[in-house]
Amino acid sequence: MSQTDATDAADGMGEQTVSTTAGETVEETRPEWTDYDAAGEAKLAVEDLDVHYGDDHALKGVSMDIPEESVTALIGPSGCGKSTFLRCLNRMNDRIRSARIDGTVELDDEDIYRDNVDLVELRKRVGMVFQSPNPFPKSIRDNISYGPRKHGELNTGLVARLLGRDDSEAEEELVATALQKAALWDEVKDRLDDNALGLSGGQQQRLCIARCLAVDPEVILMDEPASALDPIATSKIEDLIEELAKEYTVVVVTHSMQQAARISDQTAVFLTGGELVEYDDTEKIFENPESQRVEDYISGKFG
Amino acid sequence: MSRATESVLVREGRSGYEAVTASAVGLSGLAFAVGLVALLDIVAIDAPVAGVGLSAALGATLLVLGLAVVGFGAASRLDYVGTAPQPSAGVVAAGAFTIVWFTAAVLVAGAVGITGVVGLVVALAVGGVAFAVTAFPREDVGSTLPAGAMAVLGGLALATGLVGPGWEWELVAYNATLFGDTAVPVVAMTASLLTGWAAAKSYGGFGARGRNVGAYVLIYLVVLSILAVLVGLLAFVTIRGLPGLFNGFAVGGEGLVRWPFLTNGAGLLADTAGVFPALVGTIWLVVGAVVFAVPTGVGAAVFLSEYAEQGRFTQVVEVATNGLWSTPSIVFGLFGAAFLIPRFGNQKSLIAGMLTLGFMLLPLVLITSREAILAVPDEYRDASAALGVSKWETVRSVVLPAAIPGITTGVILGVGRIAGETAPILLTTGGGVLPTKTAAASVLGGFQLSASPPFVTNPELLQATSALPYQLYALITAGLSGNIEDPQQFAWGLALTLLLVVLAFYAVGIATRYYFRRKLHQ
Amino acid sequence: MIPVAREDYRASLEQLRADVESMAETVLTQLRQALSALADGDETVARAVIEGDDAVNDRYLDLEGDCVDLLALQQPVASDLRFVVASFKIITDLERVGDLTTNFARYATAEDPGALSGVDVREIGEVVREQLRAAVDAYVAGDAEACRAIAGRDDEVDALCQRASEAVVRELIAGEADAWDVERLLDDVSRVLLTVRDLERVGDHAVNVAARTLYMVEDDPGLVY
């Protein structure tokens, strides 16, 4: 094929297919499919993120900007690296010994992976909610005030109480605000001293969200927050996510495409091998994606 | 088609068979229990029961049971009842019966006088027959015939008085004699165990269900005997110790309660000798050991679980800890005598004992704390990390509180061990054998300030003192009676006191664990 | 490639496409019959067309139900979603064309059609039939270029219809009529004008089908006004 023919072919619209020697057609991914220009400021800017777990190349050169005060959904089949990506945003992957992380992640234009980053500060600003609700085996009140107390913002120890300088009122207010924001206040307001493990699954998850909100983050990362819950509890969490997006930047990993379609403003599609294939407005992804592989995935042809 | 292979969802029409087999199981259990009680000498084997001696009554029972069990097997084999037996009773049952019959044959041969190679050959033959009878016929015959036959034989022996009160067998080779007092209960227990199992299998209709019921009955009877031994031990000590413990006990008068056994020393001036110094000594030893071992052990466990890299170092520590835990207590005592005593005034002292016992407690606390900490789910640590909380704060506020029930279990177990240890106390703490009341260590009142470092001293800790196990040991070996009227009663009272002290520590530990478990909603 | 998942779903989508195509064939046949009845005045054919419309309406309701079922139960997305939505709209257009063919049949059975010379609706009918045929073919084949071509040809249809209407009015003005003929003339005139209008409508429906097909294939709603 001559040079001009190749160029002409490349200028065509829609998917490109490239024949391999095996006779299969493998789609080339085009960088413009992931070059999403978000409305508003980019809260988190990821550039060329590569993650290796030992020999396993879990994420391959992912770059994307996450806009503030909106919901970004990350979808893709199992093992495609979306949870790995999420955990890079608050450096939770540091806790895994075999993980090697290259690339930059900028929070408000500051790279969180450079030296001397205060992990405590980072995780105060970027909070996380996990797949299975994991409240501490303490009372509801203690669960919520745990973060602020450990950060020194609330003084409720014995000494403080003896000196008359304790922050019980501030604690009560903080707990009430966090629970209200997490839409759990009405259900637990008269049993704040009960052990958190006595709540139902959906309530526990909202408690974990309240606990995360109590430290006043800017970004909330959620790793499949509703996957362990029944449909009604799931709806409550989804409504909550929409509410939260008015104030916080929310990034949600979900394996339910319907959920991603319901709640997110923009959606990033990761496919097997840790590749980010397409990233765009949610309507675009679910009505007319550019990539044939993404189309096949969301139509259920594989995955 | 044989009714033995029918399977219906709702079983009817076998209730007669089931009732009879169930009563056979019950009767076997009763015979077992009676045998157990007789073995523990609570009842004599010639005690009259319905006009005959107990031994004879047991024999008759066994006879009935044996015949009944054989009958159950026959009824099933001849298809009078619907059962679902397997083609064979299995190798395990066959092996067990072989051993039982072989042993019985050896004993009988020996008692009758057939010894040597002939006896061995006879016994082996009997064993072989037992194996064949169990393994080769169908399960219903194979399970019941050997059991029933043994019960019949044993029952005959007991009922006819062949083996009974007054029977004895001199084992020249071992220079010992077996009495009827031992033989009768053993025969009764063995035979009733076998018939109980066989009857239970019959009740379950053989097959899988039968084996299920059989195993249940077997296990139940074995557990019963274990519990009986435990209760028997406690009852034994309690019964013998109560007179001593409450010697001179009175309610009312000047103080509300007078309990001289616990409040007096054993000196000449006391009207009723008591164990007060020893009691105080034991309590302080345990408290001191716990105060030393628990923070150290928990701290080490935290380091090993949370901070150290899992590798060579932690493995070595694990092996060392296990080794330390298995070390005999006298070795600890020697260590204390050689290492601690010179450092604390070159005499036996309370603190040397505390530390020695602390060293003994340390490995157990370390092991159980480590298990408890590792058992705390990682989700809590992840959640805490995601909130931006440092590692130490996480351990302090989330991991350790969640691990407390496990740690408490370790402490409870450890305290139980060290409270009763005699050897270390003997070598590091033991003072006078029959101390007076004033010899009791008064640790709380003994703190003094001093001008030179370490600025706070407590000479009481440096005194040799008595402890309950030590005093008991001394009383038994030294044999001194002083002014104690009844040394036997005193000694038993002492033993009961020790038991009660250990139980008291247990109660405190269990209450603590319960409290924390409730708090953690476990 | 990993084997196709959701087989029943894929089969349902294919079935929908086939059903829409078959409904379209029926409607096209109806149109052809109606136009020939209009030209020949054959009453038998005309009556058959009128009776055949019930079947078309029933088909329409069935297919509408199928589309709703697919949306509710299978939650199609992306091109599958556009396909279902497009098919949903196209069957509406086809059903309307079916109604229009009964109009033609009714005009054909009117008493004694007077010949209005100079007005030959046959040509318009041909063009319109070709448009609808092309639109259905484009839907089945997923041919975006054809859709644009159909939209482009609609101007020709409009022009033909315009000329025909003008011709009728001109003849009306030119022709002399006595009182006896006025009634008949008015009948004829209104019949012809209505026929022309209905033919233009068929053309518009054909363009709608093409427009929805283009949306289905390329997510381009440009032809749908």
pLDDT in tens, B281-320: 888 899 999 999 999 999 999 999 999 888 899 999 999 9
Based on the domain organization, do B316 and B224 belong to the same domain?
no
First to last CA, chain B: 55
Cα distance between residue A23 and residue A18, in whole Å: 10
Tens of pLDDT, residue by residue over B146-175, are 999 999 998 888 888 777 777 777 776 677
Tens of pLDDT, residue by residue over B41-83, are 777 777 777 777 888 888 889 999 999 999 888 888 888 877 8
Could you tell me if C49 and C30 are in contact, meaning their C-beta atoms sit under 8 angstroms apart?
yes
Where are chain A's structural domains? 1-30, 31-298
Greater confidence (B487 vs C74) lies with: C74
pLDDT computed for residue A70 by the predictor: 94
The phi, psi pair for B365, rounded to 5°, reads -60, -40
Mean pLDDT of B460-484: 77
The phi, psi pair for A142, rounded to 5°, reads -65, -35
Cα distance between residue B225 and residue B32, in whole Å: 9
Q: Positive or negative, the Cα torsion across A133, A139, A141, A146?
A: negative
Listed in order, strand segments (DSSP E) in A130-265 are 219-223, 249-253
- Tell me, yes or no, if C5 comes closer than 8 A to chain A by beta carbon: yes
C and B interact (at least 3 Cβ pairs within 8 A)? no
Task: Give the single-character DSSP code of A1.
Answer: -
Under the banding of pLDDT at 50, 70 and 90, the label for residue A9 is: very low
Cα distance between residue B320 and residue B326, in whole Å: 10
Third-level CATH fold of A31-298: Rossmann fold (3.40.50)
- Tell me, yes or no, if A23 comes closer than 8 A to chain C by beta carbon: no
Percentage of residues in chain C having pLDDT higher than 90: 62
Closest CA of chain C from A300, distance in Å: 6
| Range from A161-170, A221-230, B189-198, B351-360 carrying the lowest mean pLDDT | A161-170
- Domain with B513, as residue range(s), is 279-521
Q: Is residue B427 one of the residues assigned to a domain?
A: yes
- Tell me, yes or no, if A297 comes closer than 8 A to chain C by beta carbon: no
Residue of A nearest to C4 (CA): A301
Closest CA of chain C from A79, distance in Å: 16
Between chains, do B388 and A92 touch, taking CB under 8 Å as contact?
no
Could you tell me if C70 and C76 are in contact, meaning their C-beta atoms sit under 8 angstroms apart?
yes
pLDDT computed for residue A21 by the predictor: 45
Mean pLDDT of C164-185: 75
From A130, A135, A151, residue closest to B388, measured CB to CB: A151
Between chains, do A301 and C6 touch, taking CB under 8 Å as contact?
yes
Mean pLDDT of B322-345: 91
- Tell me, yes or no, if B170 comes closer than 8 A to chain A by beta carbon: no
pLDDT computed for residue A4 by the predictor: 41
pLDDT computed for residue B175 by the predictor: 73
Based on the domain organization, do B410 and B511 belong to the same domain?
yes
Has residue C95 got a pLDDT over 60? yes
Q: Give domain C6-218's CATH number out of 1.10.357.10, 1.10.3470.10, 1.20.58.220, 3.30.420.40.
A: 1.20.58.220
Mean pLDDT of A189-196: 93
Burial of A295 (0-12, 13-18, 19+ CB in 10 A): buried
A171-203 burial code (b ≥16 CB/10 A, e <16): beebbebbbebbbbbeebeeebeebbeebeebb
Q: Is residue B437 one of the residues assigned to a domain?
A: yes
A and C interact (at least 3 Cβ pairs within 8 A)? yes
Has residue C1 got a pLDDT over 70? no
Burial of B7 (0-12, 13-18, 19+ CB in 10 A): exposed
Q: Positive or negative, the Cα torsion across A87, A88, A92, A95?
A: positive
Cβ count near B12 (within 10 Å): 7
Has residue A15 got a pLDDT over 50? no
Tens of pLDDT, residue by residue over C199-219, are 999 999 999 999 999 999 998
Based on the domain organization, do B219 and B291 belong to the same domain?
no
Tens of pLDDT, residue by residue over C38-62, are 888 888 999 999 999 999 999 999 9
Cα distance between residue B292 and residue B352, in whole Å: 12
Based on the domain organization, do B194 and B57 belong to the same domain?
yes
Mean pLDDT of A19-45: 71
pLDDT computed for residue B370 by the predictor: 94
Q: Is residue B267 one of the residues assigned to a domain?
A: no
| Chain A interface disruption, residue of C70, C77, C219, most A CBs within 10 A | C77
- Tell me, yes or no, if A271 comes closer than 8 A to chain C by beta carbon: no
How many distinct structural domains can be found in chain B?
2
Tens of pLDDT, residue by residue over C137-154, are 999 999 999 999 999 999
Mean pLDDT of B385-414: 93
Cβ count near A121 (within 10 Å): 12
Based on the domain organization, do B412 and B311 belong to the same domain?
yes
First to last CA, chain A: 35
Closest CA of chain B from A225, distance in Å: 14
- Tell me, yes or no, if A258 comes closer than 8 A to chain C by beta carbon: yes
Cα distance between residue C100 and residue C80, in whole Å: 30
Q: Is residue B108 one of the residues assigned to a domain?
A: no
Could you tell me if A263 and A238 are in contact, meaning their C-beta atoms sit under 8 angstroms apart?
yes
Where are chain C's structural domains? 6-218
- Chain A residues in contact with chain B using a Cβ-Cβ cutoff of 8 Å: 90, 92, 95, 119-124, 127-128, 130, 132, 134-138, 146-147, 150-151, 195-198, 208, 211-212, 215
Which helix H or strand E contains A100, and what residues bound it? strand A99-107
Which contacts (CB < 8 Å, 24+ apart) does range B311-314 have?
Answer: none
Greater confidence (B255 vs A186) lies with: A186
pLDDT winner (highest mean) among A36-45, A112-121, B160-169, B264-273? A112-121
Between chains, do C81 and A287 touch, taking CB under 8 Å as contact?
yes
Cα distance between residue C225 and residue C217, in whole Å: 17
Has residue A19 got a pLDDT over 70? no
Mean pLDDT of A99-111: 93
Greater confidence (C72 vs B441) lies with: C72
Mean pLDDT of A230-252: 93
